């Protein structure tokens, strides 16, 4: 990357994975997504974010979570996996720094509830965030609502954000998950970028990297959009790899042929 930056006269990587929230391109979907999520949080309900692989779900989630001030919210972030309900509860306890050895689920739930009520007693909102939630086992969706019920379900305490691929909706639509699905208030689906938005997105990232001139031809941007299907992660990889292909030919302008070469390097 150092050689690539030097060749194109850039100050830093134009398409990093760890881009600061303040530097994120304001995707058209971000503002409505933020409103839906915070409305659900205010109602102590469940918000669902879905999208295709590489559509920017985790990045959008990171953006929204940056808006949750640490003085108001206690975030409980979990990355989903093929967890049993017991394992998910253990993951929640680990997020509190608690290692619990009991195998009795009722004891674990009691411990989690005590931790949640302690957070509430400090006038804060416990917020459970599960990324890659589509990977969770179906029995998790069947019983997760029991964790957030207090006072016979009359006192909602912990809002939940579920983020994942479209399979997440299939889990929630199952009859066994109806008690959990009935608490969903706000669904956001991230669509692929339109071509004109892709143009602005690439220009935004090049500007952040210190570029003072055009690196991508109009036709190469069209090729990136077509090859990526408008999905952010693939567009980032295509753009960066096409830049490498151009640099290897000592060409300071990325062409559609460079994008074609890049497309052979990624899946």
Encode pLDDT of 128-146 as tens digits. Answer: 999 999 999 999 999 898 8
Cβ atoms of 141 and 164 within 8 Å: the answer is no
- The answer on pLDDT for 266 being more than 60 is yes
Give per-residue pLDDT as tens, 59-114. Answer: 999 999 999 999 999 999 999 999 888 889 989 999 988 877 777 888 888 889 99
Angle of helix 256-263 relative to helix 232-248, nearest 10 degrees, comes to: 110
Same-domain check for residues 52 and 140: yes
Same-domain check for residues 66 and 142: yes
Give per-residue pLDDT as tens, 41-73. Answer: 999 999 999 999 999 999 999 999 999 999 999
- Identify the H or E element spanning 125: strand 125-131
Same-domain check for residues 47 and 134: yes
How far, in Å, CA of 198 to CA of 238, rounded? Answer: 12
**CATH number of the domain that 39 lies in?**
3.40.50.300
Among 147-161, 166-180, 213-227, which stretch is predicted with the lowest mean pLDDT? 147-161
Same-domain check for residues 114 and 201: no
pTM: 0.89
- Here the tokens at position 148 are 């957030």
What is the total count of domains within the chain?
A: 2
- The answer on pLDDT for 28 being more than 60 is yes
**How crowded is residue 206: how many other Cβ atoms within 10 Å of its Cβ?**
21
Same-domain check for residues 59 and 175: yes
Strand 46-51 to strand 184-190: parallel, antiparallel, or no bridges (unpaired)? Answer: parallel
- The answer on pLDDT for 154 being more than 70 is no
- The answer on pLDDT for 223 being more than 60 is yes
DSSP annotation of 226: H
Same-domain check for residues 90 and 180: yes
Same-domain check for residues 68 and 186: yes
Same-domain check for residues 9 and 128: no
The number of CA neighbours under 13 Å toward the Cβ of 112 is: 28
Q: What is the mean pLDDT of the chain?
A: 91
Per the DSSP assignment, residues forming a β-bridge with 190 are 51
Q: How confident is the model at residue 151 (pLDDT cuts 50, 70, 90)?
A: low
How far, in Å, CA of 125 to CA of 105, rounded? Answer: 24
Same-domain check for residues 74 and 116: yes
Q: How confident is the model at residue 18 (pLDDT cuts 50, 70, 90)?
A: confident
The per-residue pLDDT for 216 is 95
Instruction: Write out the residue range of the structural domain in which residue 252 sits.
Output: 2-22+193-263
Examine the fold and report which residue of 139, 162, 190 is the final residue of a domain before the chain moves on.
190
- The answer on pLDDT for 152 being more than 80 is no
The per-residue pLDDT for 84 is 86
Same-domain check for residues 184 and 198: no
- The answer on pLDDT for 153 being more than 70 is no
**CATH number of the domain that 208 lies in?**
1.10.8.60
The per-residue pLDDT for 155 is 72
- The answer on pLDDT for 166 being more than 90 is yes
How far, in Å, CA of 39 to CA of 57, rounded? Answer: 18
How far, in Å, CA of 26 to CA of 31, rounded? Answer: 8
Same-domain check for residues 8 and 126: no
The per-residue pLDDT for 214 is 86
Examine the fold and report which residue of 147, 173, 190 is the final residue of a domain before the chain moves on.
190
The per-residue pLDDT for 213 is 85
Examine the fold and report which residue of 164, 190, 216 is the final residue of a domain before the chain moves on.
190
Select from 227, 217, 244, 245 the least CA-distant residue to 54.
227
Same-domain check for residues 161 and 202: no
Query: Span 213-236, mean pLDDT?
Result: 95
Cβ atoms of 65 and 125 within 8 Å: the answer is no
């Amino acid at each position: 990357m150092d050689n690539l930056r030097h060749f194109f006269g850039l100050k830093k990587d134009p398409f990093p994975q760890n881009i600061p929230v303040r530097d994120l391109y304001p995707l058209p979907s971000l503002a409505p997504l933020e409103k839906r999520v915070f409305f659900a949080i205010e109602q102590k309900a469940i918000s669902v974010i879905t999208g295709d692989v590489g559509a920017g779900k985790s990045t959008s989630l990171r953006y929204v979570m940056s808006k949750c001030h640490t003085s108001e919210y206690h975030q409980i972030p979990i990355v989903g996996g093929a967890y049993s309900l017991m394992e998910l509860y253990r993951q929640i306890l680990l997020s509190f720094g608690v290692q619990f050895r009991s195998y009795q689920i009722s004891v674990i739930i009691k411990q989690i509830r005590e931790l949640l009520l302690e957070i509430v007693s400090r006038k804060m909102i416990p917020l459970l965030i599960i990324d890659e939630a589509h990977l969770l086992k179906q029995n998790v969706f069947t019983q997760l609502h029991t964790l957030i019920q207090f006072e016979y379900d009359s006192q909602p305490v912990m809002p939940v954000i579920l983020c994942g691929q479209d399979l997440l909706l299939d889990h929630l639509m199952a009859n066994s998950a109806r008690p959990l699905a009935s608490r969903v208030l706000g669904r956001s689906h991230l669509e692929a970028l339109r071509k004109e938005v892709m143009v602005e997105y690439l220009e935004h990232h090049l500007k952040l990297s210190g570029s003072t001139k055009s690196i991508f031809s109009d036709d190469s941007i069209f090729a990136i959009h077509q090859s990526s299907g408008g999905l952010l992660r693939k567009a980032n990889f295509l753009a960066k790899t096409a830049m490498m292909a151009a640099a290897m030919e000592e060409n300071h302008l990325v062409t559609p042929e460079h994008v074609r070469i890049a497309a052979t390097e990624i899946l």
